[in-house]
Amino acid sequence: MTQDELKQAVARAALDYVVEGRIIGVGTGSTANFFIDELGKIRDRIKGAVASSEATATRLRSHGITVFDLNDIDAMPVYIDGADEINHQGAMIKGGGGALTREKIVASVADRFVCIADGSKLVDVLGTFPLPVEVIPMAVQSVSKYLSAMGAMPVLRMKDGQPYMTDNACHIIDASGMRITEPAAMESKINDIPGVVSVGLFAIRGASVCLLGTSTGVRRLEF
């Protein structure tokens, strides 16, 4: 099976976690996009969705799914999203697609986080994938110095020759070379650096469930 076929398989399996008549939180990225396409097929069975990015909102609307503002929502049973890496405890690195802050906000309102990923995303120790850190533009240099002092190699993410701009008009520093053995402690430490909007570590609140696409089928990990 190709990586896309594995992503499609977990996207389909995630429909089992959709609660009828409710609003669902939806992530960002290629796996989330496959999930949105599946969700479109059952759109009459949900009330609508909250999107973790402008791109996700556009795709949801293209399927006729009503997109709600998070400020109008009190509770959500489930948030479904991909990950760049996930460990055996359900801690994740996210933000490869640049939507980490909104993803963390929407996920924080949901009762359960269902991670959908192809099998290559499961790791013993987080950090092979460069850790995304969203920062206020004026803090790129100062935050980079903090990250270097922590042993990371920080690189400002670029797009079309310009610093990458998030939906929140901020930039992203990708911090490579980190071996993250204590993800929750690292999440707090980086979040505390002045100028950091949020770090793409989802460990203090990790996944509740991970649906992992493998060549022998969808594996379900519960945390």
103 part of the active site = yes
At 111, phi and psi to the nearest 5? -70, -40
Please state the closest distance from residue 103 (CB atom) to ligand 5RP, in A. Answer: 6
Please state the closest distance from residue 53 (CB atom) to ligand 5RP, in A. Answer: 7
From 85, 103, 134, 187, the catalytic residue: 103
Please state the closest distance from residue 121 (CB atom) to ligand 5RP, in A. Answer: 7
Task: Please identify, using beta-carbon distances, which residue of 45 and 220 lies nearer to ligand 5RP.
Answer: 220
Please state the closest distance from residue 86 (CB atom) to ligand 5RP, in A. Answer: 10
Rounded Cα distance between 49 and 202, Å, is 21
Binding residues vs ligand 5RP (CB under 6 A): 27-31, 81-84, 94-100, 103
Question: Within 13 Å and on the Cβ side, how many CA atoms surround 96?
Answer: 16
Rounded Cα distance between 128 and 216, Å, is 25
Query: Using the 8-state DSSP alphabet, how is residue 178 labeled?
Result: -
Question: Within 13 Å and on the Cβ side, how many CA atoms surround 127?
Answer: 15
Who's near 112: CB < 8 A, 6+ residues apart? 17, 77, 78, 79, 208, 209
Task: Please identify, using beta-carbon distances, which residue of 31 and 208 lies nearer to ligand 5RP.
Answer: 31
List, by residue number, the catalytic residues: 103
